[in-house]
């Protein structure tokens, strides 16, 4: 992207040029926090009305909010923070977006160019610190580069495998006049991601799929990133072929959960049928997922007898951990279009009898009902966390509901029991596993969708990591609903300590918790609490009805664990089922498995 | 790719000559736990807009494929070429200081002559040689010089190029 062929218009300041470039890139919202180095940009923001600035209470939250905004709209999220601590506070959010392929542009202030390297006040080597935390980053040293770099940053963030881009802006560059040029679609000098798949690879893939007896489609976040049309085509392809389909944590919503061909989520806490189908398949089609260690379990024993087709926009994901037979590099949308066309064109008849037999086998696995749990409905009974999620799902069905989560047991229960029919409605920190993600992400979703129901499914430990954003919710009247599954433990840590560390609950008890009802009230919101099973539906109904930020403190069974579970280092067919199932036992974890996270 | 044998790879990377590009490449290697045996970099376009990095690394076939794919997805990278996949030439240059007097001086000169090393500086107690060649030739020369009075070495690292008409772009 090089705009030099256009004549430039000189803007009064770099800050004004930046705002104009942001508008040209379609930015309507910036999440940020001011400070000395970015004051010129804040001054320019003050003097215009087209871009809305949402003032967060911590820079990490600005990045997560932009992630929520980006993932729920398909647009590039935009962040503005100051130099030094502003930038370093943003780093966790940047890595989160990098791991989950979320398009962001983060503008960071920097000390003036003549002070760089002098250990100036609020100076940090932002490009150095964020180099491995971003898809790409820039330090603007000349005013004539400024606008080109901003346009290029958006291009890099949104194309190919999306990701976060940092633009570091010295204060003198923000003050000095700068030339403005409109963005033009010119090929980048060195960055040219491949989006169109190789037709020969598509034919090879279809040839394998047509001749398969035990196929499975394994779809991930790449399908969601490719836009809603890609999810529609995934659904079309799965129905066309009659294949079973499983989604990764990041891919939930890419295929409708209510569809009979959906096996649920796979991986460490995936369903019995999804994991055993992955283990036993003869042809696997991976679209937009990356064989994450949470999905594969022990690599050497991962789906040992299958031919593997891997469609990914990032060539470095191919053969990274799992060696595949047919690699397809390209955008999920283009690949799905090509697969559907090639499937229809290939006249090889499908072995329908074999497929029917495969479904029979899957139905046997399904009949295990691996997500089964028992909720005592007698008044006064303790609430099971799974039941809380199911009731929440039932109460919100039919609405345009967006769900974010924090990280831990509640996140897995949300993934297992909340059913997503559409993409872009489920926001969770998958790769990095960032506690504190859910509340700011929900904030960003609510800003983008003011009339939608936005729920952060949280744990009592995670929510405290960015609880200050309650203040932001109040300021902008964002009626985000925080649904805390409060088991008074860092539940996933406690679960691992129970199963793997002899029940020594080192530092995992949530001591000295706040009164969440009063806490909500002190932040100008509404606090609700459900202590017994007979409180639950009323609390959920009230939470949904209130047009204000709400914290619903759901007191749940402290002892409940997330099942099924593939212990670290175990293969898919050595899954632990819950206490409801015969033969439930503590895992036999090897020393090698214990060393895994 | 069941091949778990380690192999050496000489990879040429053509990059945009912008600030931080070398840090990106080095950071990629350290961050992902890849080895660097040698690394050289210098601008190669007349206007200084592109630089060529030559990196010698080791790994299994799968790791080397990963290294190439990871390098290729860096935004300022134009082209990644694994020279070890075909016939190629690689050279490095060393400046070698040898200290000594008497018979050892004569021996140092004889060895230098055999290796076609040039004397580029001399005092009554020292020689500094310049030697160009493949890595193993330099290694052999240094091994021979060690008992003769090898005192200091400065090596450039490997620069490499494909044989024949093949070019990186």
DSSP three-state, residue A50: coil
Cβ burial of B102 (10 Å; 0-12, 13-18, 19+) is exposed
A518 is catalytic: no
Extract the tokens encoding B43: 């601008």
**DSSP at B117:** P
A492 is catalytic: yes
The string of pLDDT tens digits covering residues A36-76 is: 999 999 999 999 999 999 999 999 999 999 999 999 999 99
More confident residue, A592 or B94: B94
DSSP three-state, residue A293: helix
Which residue is associated with the tokens 């392809």?
A237
At A513, the pLDDT band (50, 70, 90 cuts) reads: very high
What local confidence, expressed as pLDDT, does residue A3 receive?
45
| CA–CA gap between residue A289 and residue A306 (Å, rounded) | 17
List alpha helices for A32-135, DSSP H: 39-46, 59-73, 85-99, 126-130
**DSSP at A576:** B
At A394, the pLDDT band (50, 70, 90 cuts) reads: very high
Cis peptide before A564 (omega within 30 of 0): yes
Taking the CA atoms of chain A, what radius of gyration do you get in angstroms? 25
A194 touches chain B (CB under 8 A): no
The string of pLDDT tens digits covering residues A421-459 is: 999 999 999 999 999 999 999 999 999 999 999 999 999
A326, B77 in Cβ contact below 8 A?
no
| CA–CA gap between residue A568 and residue B13 (Å, rounded) | 38
| CA–CA gap between residue A486 and residue A507 (Å, rounded) | 17
A171 is catalytic: yes
Q: What's chain A's average pLDDT? A: 95
The string of pLDDT tens digits covering residues A340-367 is: 999 999 999 999 999 999 999 999 999 9
A320/B66 touch (CB, cutoff 8 Å), yes or no: yes
B166 touches chain A (CB under 8 A): no
The string of pLDDT tens digits covering residues A194-222 is: 999 999 999 999 999 999 999 999 999 99
Instruction: Give the one of B1, B24, B72 whose C-beta lies nearest to A315's C-beta.
Output: B72
- Chain B residue with Cα closest to A153: B75
A265 is catalytic: no
The string of pLDDT tens digits covering residues A94-123 is: 999 999 999 999 999 999 999 999 999 999
**Short-list A183, A148, A234, A146, CA closest to A23:** A183
- Top residue of A158, A316, A317, A319 to mutate, by most chain B CBs within 10 Å, is A316
Beta strands A52-55 and A29-32 are parallel
At B48, the pLDDT band (50, 70, 90 cuts) reads: confident
What local confidence, expressed as pLDDT, does residue A5 receive?
53
User: Strand A401-405's sheet: what is its strand order?
Assistant: A426-427, A401-405, A453-459, A481-486, A550-555, A526-530
Extract the tokens encoding A377: 């409905």
The string of pLDDT tens digits covering residues A314-325 is: 999 999 999 999
Q: What are phi and psi of A161, to 5 degrees?
A: -80, 115
B56, B8 in Cβ contact below 8 A?
yes
At B1, the pLDDT band (50, 70, 90 cuts) reads: very low
What local confidence, expressed as pLDDT, does residue A187 receive?
77
What local confidence, expressed as pLDDT, does residue A137 receive?
98
DSSP three-state, residue A32: strand
Residue A2 has pLDDT above 60, yes or no: no
What local confidence, expressed as pLDDT, does residue A594 receive?
67
B61/chain A closest Cα distance in angstroms? 11
H or E stretch at B31: helix B21-31
A559, A488 in Cβ contact below 8 A?
no
| CA–CA gap between residue B42 and residue B36 (Å, rounded) | 17
B15 touches chain A (CB under 8 A): yes
B65/chain A closest Cα distance in angstroms? 8
Residues 6+ apart with CB under 8 A from A33: A55, A56, A57, A58, A59, A62, A80, A81, A82, A86
**Short-list A8, A46, A52, A5, CA closest to A476:** A52
A315/B15 touch (CB, cutoff 8 Å), yes or no: no
The string of pLDDT tens digits covering residues A529-585 is: 999 999 999 999 999 999 999 999 999 999 999 999 998 888 888 899 988 887 665
A191/B75 touch (CB, cutoff 8 Å), yes or no: yes
Instruction: Provide, as residue numbers in chain B, all residues whose Cβ is less than 8 Å from the Cβ of A291.
Output: none
A394 is catalytic: no
What local confidence, expressed as pLDDT, does residue A43 receive?
98
Which residue is associated with the tokens 């294949």?
A243
Instruction: Provide, as residue numbers in chain B, all residues whose Cβ is less than 8 Å from the Cβ of A141.
Output: 19
Extract the tokens encoding A292: 């994450």
- Chain A residue with Cα closest to B30: A132
Rounded to a whole number of angstroms, the distance between the first and last alpha carbons of chain A is 41
Tell me the mean pLDDT in the region A158-164: 97
- Top residue of B61, B66, B73 to mutate, by most chain A CBs within 10 Å, is B73
Which residue is associated with the tokens 């803007």?
A11
DSSP three-state, residue A565: strand
CA dist A536 → A406, A408, A452, A541 (Å): 21, 21, 22, 9
H or E stretch at A552: strand A550-555
B5, B62 in Cβ contact below 8 A?
no
Three-state SS sequence of A313-353: CCHHHCCCCCCCCEEEECCHHHHHHHHHHHHHHCCCCCCHH
At A189, the pLDDT band (50, 70, 90 cuts) reads: confident
pTM for the whole thing? 0.95
Size of interface A-B (CB pairs under 8 A): 47
């Amino acid at each position: 992207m090089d705009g030099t062929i256009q004549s430039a218009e000189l803007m009064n300041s770099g800050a004004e040029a930046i705002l104009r470039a942001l508008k040209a890139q379609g930015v309507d919202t910036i999440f940020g926090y001011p400070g000395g180095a970015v004051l010129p940009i804040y001054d320019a923001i003050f003097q215009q009305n087209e871009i809305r600035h949402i003032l967060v209470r911590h820079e990490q939250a600005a990045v997560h909010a932009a992630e929520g905004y980006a993932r729920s709209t398909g647009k590039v999220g935009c962040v503005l923070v100051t130099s030094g601590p502003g930038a370093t506070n943003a780093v966790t959010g940047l890595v989160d977006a990098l791991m989950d392929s979320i398009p962001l542009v983060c503008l960071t202030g920097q000390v003036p160019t003549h002070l760089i390297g002098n250990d100036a006040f609020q100076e940090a080597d932002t490009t150095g610190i964020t180099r491995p935390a971003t898809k790409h980053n820039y330090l603007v040293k000349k005013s004539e580069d400024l606008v080109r770099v901003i346009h290029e940053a958006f291009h890099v963030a949104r194309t190919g495998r999306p990701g976060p881009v940092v633009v570091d802006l010295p204060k003198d560059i923000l003050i000095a006049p700068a030339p403005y040029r409109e963005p033009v679609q010119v090929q980048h000098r060195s960055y040219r991601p491949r989006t169109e798949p190789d037709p020969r690879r598509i034919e090879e893939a279809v040839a394998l799929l047509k001749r398969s007896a035990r196929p499975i489609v394994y779809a991930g976040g790449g399908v969601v990133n490719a836009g809603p049309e890609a999810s529609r085509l995934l659904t079309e392809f799965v129905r066309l072929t009659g294949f079973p389909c499983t989604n990764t944590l990041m891919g939930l919503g890419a295929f409708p959960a209510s569809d009979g061909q959906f096996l649920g989520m796979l991986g460490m806490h995936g369903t019995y049928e999804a994991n055993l189908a992955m283990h036993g398949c003869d042809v696997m089609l991976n679209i937009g997922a990356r064989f994450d260690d949470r999905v594969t379990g022990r690599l050497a024993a991962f789906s040992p007898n299958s031919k593997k087709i891997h469609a990914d926009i990032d060539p470095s994901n191919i053969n990274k951990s799992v060696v595949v037979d047919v690699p397809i590099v390209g955008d999920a949308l283009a690949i799905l279009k090509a697969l559907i066309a090639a499937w229809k064109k290939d006249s090889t008849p499908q072995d329908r009898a074999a497929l029917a037999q495969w479904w029979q086998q899957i139905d046997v696995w399904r009949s295990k009902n691996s997500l089964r749990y028992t909720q005592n409905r007698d008044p006064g009974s303790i609430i099971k966390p799974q039941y809380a999620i199911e009731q929440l799902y039932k109460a919100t069905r039919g609405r345009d509901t967006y769900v974010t989560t924090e990280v831990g047991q509640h996140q897995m229960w949300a993934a297992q029991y909340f059913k997503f029919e559409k993409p872009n409605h489920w926001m969770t920190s998958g790769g990095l596993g960032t506690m504190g993600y859910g509340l700011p992400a929900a904030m960003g979703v609510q800003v983008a969708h003011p009339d939608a129901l936005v729920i952060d499914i949280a744990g009592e430990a995670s929510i405290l990591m960015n609880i200050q954003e309650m203040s932001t919710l109040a300021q902008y009247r964002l009626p985000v609903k925080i649904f805390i599954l409060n088991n008074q433990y860092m539940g996933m840590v406690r679960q691992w300590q129970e199963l793997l560390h002899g029940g020594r609950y080192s530092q995992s008890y949530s001591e000295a918790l706040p009164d969440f009802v009063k806490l909500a009230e002190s932040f100008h919101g509404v606090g609700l609490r459900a202590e017994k099973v007979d409180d639950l539906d009323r609390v959920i109904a009230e939470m949904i009805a209130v047009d204000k930020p709400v914290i619903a403190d759901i007191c749940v069974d402290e002892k409940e664990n997330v099942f099924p579970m593939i212990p670290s280092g175990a293969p898919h067919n050595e899954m632990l089922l819950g206490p409801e199932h015969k033969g439930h036992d503590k895992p036999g974890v090897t020393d090698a498995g214990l060393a895994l996270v | 790719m069941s091949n778990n044998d380690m192999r050496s790879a000489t990879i040429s990377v053509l990059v945009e000559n912008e600030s931080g590009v070398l840090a990106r490449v080095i950071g990629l290697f350290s961050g992902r736990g890849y080895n660097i045996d040698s690394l050289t970099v210098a601008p190669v376009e007349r206007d200084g807009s592109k630089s060529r990095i030559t990196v010698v690394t080791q790994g299994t076939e799968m790791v080397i494929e990963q290294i190439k794919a990871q390098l290729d997805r860096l935004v300022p990278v134009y082209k990644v070429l694994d020279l070890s996949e075909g016939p190629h030439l690689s050279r490095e240059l060393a400046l070698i200081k040898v200290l000594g007097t008497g018979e050892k001086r004569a021996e140092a000169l004889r060895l230098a002559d055999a290796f076609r090393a040039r004397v580029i500086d001399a005092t009554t107690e020292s020689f500094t040689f310049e030697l160009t060649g493949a890595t193993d030739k330099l290694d052999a020369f240094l091994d021979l010089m060690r008992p003769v009075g090898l005192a200091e070495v400065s090596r450039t690292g490997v620069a490499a190029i494909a044989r024949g008409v093949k070019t990186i772009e």
